[in-house]
Each structure stands twice: as structure tokens, then as C-alpha cells.
Structure 1
């Protein structure tokens, strides 16, 4: 199984690393929150730039990114713009979405970048090529806040990500029953056997909470914890998550 290195972090199927998201909206609040995050030393920080009020201002985005990474060093930073249709905070058309990601890549603003699967595949492929040329690993993702895909559909989504040369494959979905949660756990197990890449699987909400700490058993390489603000339904606080992961590791 191939591992993926993001700065000083290795994502692998035999352990589950912890990321803390930043969803603050101003430069000052982002940098202040980063100082608090630094004290708890997570494995990774995800900066959700769809919450950043100046996200479409290249100058402010670049400056804030440099300042953020300086504060957090050596903790790696994953930059994510989650589109509105996948649970994000800001509507953005595809042209603007791809332009924003290109700005991040061209200016080396991140240690890793999230690219959503549900866009034009040809453009995604080019973007992934450019990202790899900049030595930035790609986490490709698909989020469904309404339902959980079937096992067959979930594997198809992961296969598409793999064929687009993503380094890490991620699916997060909303369960409507306990069977949906079991589907996600089965998907994670099967994907680990099929793909030579780290997998992230999350079942969101109250029903899916156990998937946030079951990664050591079901081979999900990364989970997300809330220090103050949760970025998705069902996120556990950092201390609780660490306790559960320690029991299963």
C-alpha cells in the first residue's frame, strides 16, 4: 500500500491521523485560531477557505496563507474550498472554482489541496497534473449531505478519483439509517483492498459518529476534530477523538 507524505505527515492505512479545520472568516480570526491550534499540535490543519471573506481577493488570500503557515509550522496545511453543493459556505461557479485552485497551486499556498470530483474531469486532470508538478499532494473528495451512496456507487466514485491520479481518495456522506453507516465501513474496508492509495471515509451526523474514530480498524487514514467550530455534522471534539483512537490503535 502506497503512503502519501504531506510535509512531515505520512498518511497510511495502518494509522488514523487527526486534522483540525479552520472555518473562521477574517484574517485576524484565522491567525488567532491558528495560535490556539498550534498548542494542541494536530497532525494536519485544514483551512476551509470557503469561509474566508476575502477568498476571491488573491492578494489577501496569498498573504493570509503565508502568515497562517508561518504560525502553524511545521504542521502541514490542507487548503479546501468546499463548494456550496457539497456542503460549503459559498456558491462558486466552476470557472471561478478552478481559477481559485490554480491560484493556490501557482503560488504554493498549501502543503496539500482538496479537489472535488464532481466537476469537469478533463479540467480536473489538468489541475492534478499541475498540482503534482508543484509537489503538492491531492486529496480528491466527494461529499453528499443528503444520502449515502450504495457500495457499488461508492466504489465507482473512488475509482474515478483513482483514475484522475488523486493521491488520497475521500468520501463523506450522510447516513439515513444504521445500514448506511455499515455501508461506509464496508466501503472503507473494500477500498483498502482495491486501491493502492490511502482512503478517507466518513459517515456524517449523529448516526455516523463512530466512523470518525474507527479508522484504525477500517483503514480510514484521516479524521477531523473540532477544537472550537465543527466543519461538518458529527465531528467530535479533539480530546474525545484522541481517547477513542487510542483505544482502537
Structure 2
């Protein structure tokens, strides 16, 4: 079994329905990320997510507009939507900087669910000290996997991600760069210990994100 998973991101219910009809198209995808913030209708999304979970584990993400998503309602409402997927999803993603992270406890999520604490910066790569602080913050809360997705403007940014990964050999991290300079990290960091790498199943969900198939062809 791979020590890392390739996550296939879905932003459209049409794509989800198509994959349910043709699950062979999930080849190379270990986990399906359902981006509920992309205006998916709850009842329809739940039924489709339940069906796709028979083929792959589901990661539920309800990304706020502050970190690249489209969700604009308050976090109290967002947590209620998360709860709708507790019996379906294997993974849930919440932002380390969100109010939901500040107000909810790890025990508010099912113990068997893997909770991902994420941070996104679409302009630059934070310093290694800042990234280390985010990892510590997440682990203190009880996060199972800390995900840092940051924009790489130069080669040094890719090296910073590698350094942070190397500095935390006992931590469960998913680190990746965005943008053209960051593309390489989606292929290079998983073999070094990054737990997840993300590719799209319908359209890129982040700058420079490759397709799930492109990741699978190179990494598997």
C-alpha cells in the first residue's frame, strides 16, 4: 500500500454522477474530495456521495471564500453541513484559521473520521517558522493531518516545503505548492512523506493543480 494517497477533487455534481456511472474512471484516485462549497445541493450531494463512497473514501470539504472557496455563510451553518456527511465521509477538511476551528473541538467530529486541518496562501509561501507554528497549532487541537497549500514564487519556496516536511518526521503532513513553481512539489513531496497530494477530476481547484490522472501516471 502507498504511504501517501492521491486525492481526486470534484467541484461539480455532474462529475460526481458521471463517476458513479463509470467508477472505472476513478483509476489512480485513492480518495474523492467532494467540494460542497461549489454550490452543490445538499440532498443530491449526500445521495451521490453515499454512492461514490462504495468505490472510494470520501473527503468532505466546505471551503470558505477566505481561502479560495465559495462558502460565505457563517461557520455555525457550515458545521451543520459537515454533520450531514459524518456517516458518509472518511475525511473532513477544516481551515486552521477559521472560526469553526476555533469554536469546535476534536470531539465534535466522529473519532473514526480523519480530520484535516488546512491552511492556504494563494500569494506566497510563508516562512518555515510560520509553517511550523501552524503545524503545532493543528496538532495541539488534535488534528489528524495538517495540510499546507502555499503559492511558490521561486525554487526556494519548494525547498522550504521540503525542509518543513523533513523537520517533522513524526507528524502527519500534506504539503504542496501552488502555481507553476509549485507544481513539482505535488509529485516530489509524497515520496518524501507528504500524506496527500491533490489532483482534479473535473477542473483545477487550485492554481497549477494537475489532473488526478497525471499524478497517478507518475506516482503509481
Normalising TM by the smaller chain, what interval? 0.7 to 0.9
CA contact (8 A) 1:200 1:223 kept: yes
From 24, 29, 46, give the equivalent of 2:33: 46
Normalised by the length of structure 2, the TM-score is: 0.88
* Structure 2 CA distance for aligned equivalents of residues 227 and 119 of structure 1: 26
Question: What does residue range 150-161 of structure 1 map to in structure 2 within 5 Å?
Answer: 150-161=127-138
Give the corresponding residue for 1:144: 121
The answer to whether residue 9 in structure 2 is matched with residue 21 in structure 1 is: yes
Cα displacement (A) at 1:33: 4.2
Question: What does residue range 1-249 of structure 1 map to in structure 2 within 5 Å?
Answer: 15-24=3-12, 27-36=13-22, 38-41=24-27, 42-54=29-41, 61-105=42-86, 108-120=87-99, 121-125=101-105, 128-133=106-111, 135-193=112-170, 195=171, 198-246=172-220
* Structure 2 CA distance for aligned equivalents of residues 226 and 37 of structure 1: 15
Task: Provide runs of 4+ in structure 1 moved above 6 Å.
Answer: none
Cα displacement (A) at 1:62: 4.1
Cα displacement (A) at 1:169: 1.1
* Structure 2 CA distance for aligned equivalents of residues 47 and 38 of structure 1: 18
Cα displacement (A) at 1:245: 1.7
Indicate how the Cα distance of structure 1 residues 139 and 222 shifts in structure 2: closer, same or farther if over 3 A, else same: same
Secondary structure of 1:236's partner? coil
CA-to-partner distance for each residue in 1:67-89, whole Å, 9 max, x for gaps? 33314513100000111111112
Unaligned segments of structure 1, at least 5 residues: 1-9, 55-60
Unaligned segments of structure 2, at least 5 residues: none
- Total equivalences in the alignment: 218
* Structure 1 CA distance for aligned equivalents of residues 98 and 202 of structure 2: 31
